[in-house]
A and B are shown apart, each in its own frame.
Chain A
Amino acid sequence: MASKPNSSGRSDDRRIAVLLLALPLGLLAATLIVPMISAINISLRDIRVIGSDGPFAGFDNYARVLTDGTFWHALGISVVWVVGNAVVQTILALTAALVLNEKFPGVRVARVWIILTWIIPTVVVVIIWRWLLSPSGGMVNPLLIQLGIIDRPMGFFASGPAAMTSLILINSWRWFPFVAIMLLAGLQRIPNDIYEAAAVDGAGAVARFRAITWPLLQPTLLVLTVMGTLLSFNVFDIIWLLTAGGPAGGTETLPVLIYETAFKAYRMGDAAAMSVVASVLMIGLALVLLDRLAPKETGR
């Protein structure tokens, strides 16, 4: 933010700022901050009936949740989910961004419409891929057989690992264009003359990528890694609608477990305790990532 001293009176600015920010900040406080505090309160209570406050239970919910294997199992699944998505999306998005950074006929249109998979509703993503991967009429099995990758139709959601792989690929399909657009912005901030100088010095495309593109893209990648981790941890609908956490809990990430605990088993206190632990973990992870990866940024 440019903080040029304004010629108009500051006291005036302050009064107007309060007026303007009252509504937006008030809404965010009411729908984000109050619920977060309330989540902590709920996690300390034993709520049996919806709408009643329930007696104070101290850390009982936390103790029960943290000693139960399902929480740790779901946390493990969430780690696989987040890491898998980060790897697949980074590779796909970087490739796409490098392509879109080139000049070719139609590139301007491509830079806008690549994001198509991100603007369609997740439930449509679910319908698309359930059908494409289904044994009846789905295109993916015949295509893979034609390409010689598999020799007979496979069940993409038949086992835990298969279902997890399918889910990661589907979610990455939805998100990689978004990441690619952000990476493209990072690529375009790299001055062109550096590449030209390197080319004059005889550096090939691969050498240029390793010496210029990759290091200069680090700040953008860092922000996207942190953002992507938080976003993919949060993903619920794709998993819920495709596998509902199955088969046999093989894709039951923490958000799925929390949802089931709260709205299928109606154990609000336990679910709130789990979500509080999850937030602490996520915020901690974001801080660690920023701290660990940030020093590279100084090379900018």
Chain B
Amino acid sequence: MKRGPLSWLVLALAVFALAFVVLAPMWLVGTSSFKLPREIINRVPTWFPHSFTLQHYQKLLQTSAFPTYFLNSVLVAASSAFVTVILALMAGYAFFRLEFRGRDFLYRLIMVAYAFPSIVILIPIYLMFAKVGLIDTDLALVLVNVTFALPFSIWMMRTFFASLPRELEEAAAIDGAGRWKTVVHVLIPLLRPGIAAIAIFAFVASWTEYLFASVLIISDAKRTLPVGLSGIIGQYQIDWGLLLAGASLSVLPVIVFFAFVGRWFVAGLTEGAVK
């Protein structure tokens, strides 16, 4: 369909508005983390910085517990992503490559998991973990994060398994490769986009998780970023420079991660766009 000049104008305005809504807040926070304190809280805010300083980052990295929170979060999120990928691959193979009774029922049952408010299991999980001594451990957070990421990851796996013709595996089988060999040498390499999509999803979900981390972790040294950062909000008398620097650094890892595998994640989200 040909587009008239008016139609182009409307589209251009809409694209600009969309980009503005998503990017303007990020731009303001990112650039302002380098501004001097008085410019940050100026009555007339500036779109482009007039001053430059690294003092907020210095304070954040040297005098606050931010580095500890950051490392804890990396550890928890990376472990959660790793475990989620392994479990989702196992479940994915069973659900989308094997024939067994009760398969469809089990698959649907897993999807129903999301209907329950997470707050419902917060209390029993807390009491349960208290009994077995899991309170205040990273393992507790990994278990919870994997639980929440797994059903959606299995759902995303479906697209990626569906995009691979079974003939490939059958050909490998005819060539005499056993099931295990076929999986490792044929299936897993071809599933890399799916693995990337699940890894980023589980990583982001864990990186963001606040509710369980705020209840299951008690000691300050084991806090993850979201809880630690929210503690900094209250701890200092709103030091915006420090918070903006903390916010910027907390976003950085997910953006870097996303730059590499983001498109696979979106493909997994939208089903079928995988080629």
Residues of A whose CB lies within 8 Å of any CB of B are: 1-8, 10, 13-14, 16-18, 20-21, 23-25, 27-28, 31-32, 34-36, 38-39, 42, 50-51, 95-96, 99, 102, 104, 110-117, 119-124, 126-132, 134, 136-139, 142, 173, 177-178, 181-182, 184-185, 188, 195-196, 199, 205, 227, 230, 233-234, 236-237, 240-241, 254-255, 258-259, 262-263, 268, 271-272, 275-276, 278-279, 282-283, 286
Closest Cβ–Cβ distance, residue A2 to chain B (whole Å): 8
Does B233 make an interface contact (CB < 8 A)?
A: yes
Residues of chain B from 87 to 125 with CB closer than 8 A to chain A in the complex? 87-88, 90-91, 93-96, 98-101, 103-104, 106-107, 110, 113-125
Does B9 make an interface contact (CB < 8 A)?
A: no
User: Which residue on A lies nearest to B25, using beta carbons?
Assistant: A128
Residues of B within 8 A of A275 (CB): 117, 119-120, 122-123
Residues of B within 8 A of A36 (CB): 116, 120-121, 124
User: Which residue on B lies nearest to A2, using beta carbons?
Assistant: B162
Residues of B within 8 A of A282 (CB): 115-117
Does B171 make an interface contact (CB < 8 A)?
A: no
Q: Once the chains bind, are B94 and A27 in contact (CB under 8 Å)?
A: no
Closest Cβ–Cβ distance, residue B204 to chain A (whole Å): 5
User: Which residue on B lies nearest to A139, using beta carbons?
Assistant: B45
Q: Once the chains bind, are B117 and A255 in contact (CB under 8 Å)?
A: yes
User: Which residue on B lies nearest to A132, using beta carbons?
Assistant: B25
User: Which residue on A lies nearest to B158, using beta carbons?
Assistant: A1
Q: Once the chains bind, are B107 and A50 in contact (CB under 8 Å)?
A: no
Residues of B within 8 A of A6 (CB): 98-99
Does B188 make an interface contact (CB < 8 A)?
A: no
A282–B115 alpha-carbon span in the complex (Å): 7
Q: Once the chains bind, are A234 and B266 in contact (CB under 8 Å)?
A: no
- The secondary structure that dominates the A interface is helix
User: Which residue on B lies nearest to A15, using beta carbons?
Assistant: B100
Q: Once the chains bind, are B210 and A124 in contact (CB under 8 Å)?
A: no
Q: Contact size class for B?
A: 35 or more
- The secondary structure that dominates the B interface is helix
User: Which residue on B lies nearest to A275, using beta carbons?
Assistant: B120
Does B151 make an interface contact (CB < 8 A)?
A: yes
Residues of B within 8 A of A237 (CB): 210-211, 226
Residues of B within 8 A of A173 (CB): 21, 25
Q: Once the chains bind, are A51 and B131 in contact (CB under 8 Å)?
A: yes
Closest Cβ–Cβ distance, residue B33 to chain A (whole Å): 11
A296–B140 alpha-carbon span in the complex (Å): 44
> Given A7-B170, A31-B147, A230-B115, are A104 and B96 neighbors across the interface (CB < 8 Å)?
no
Q: List 8 A-B contacts (CB under 8 A).
A: A10-B99, A38-B128, A104-B12, A124-B247, A128-B29, A132-B25, A137-B240, A173-B21
Residues of B within 8 A of A132 (CB): 25, 28
A178–B208 alpha-carbon span in the complex (Å): 15
Does B44 make an interface contact (CB < 8 A)?
A: yes
> Given A127-B229, A237-B210, are A272 and B124 neighbors across the interface (CB < 8 Å)?
yes
Q: Once the chains bind, are B124 and A39 in contact (CB under 8 Å)?
A: yes
Does B63 make an interface contact (CB < 8 A)?
A: no
Q: Once the chains bind, are B210 and A123 in contact (CB under 8 Å)?
A: yes
Interface string of B159-171 (1 = CB under 8 A from A): 0001000100010
Q: Which 3 pairs from chain A and chain B are nearest by CB?
A: A185-B270, A35-B124, A38-B124
Q: Once the chains bind, are A99 and B11 in contact (CB under 8 Å)?
A: yes
Interface string of B117-153 (1 = CB under 8 A from A): 1111111111110110000000000011011001100
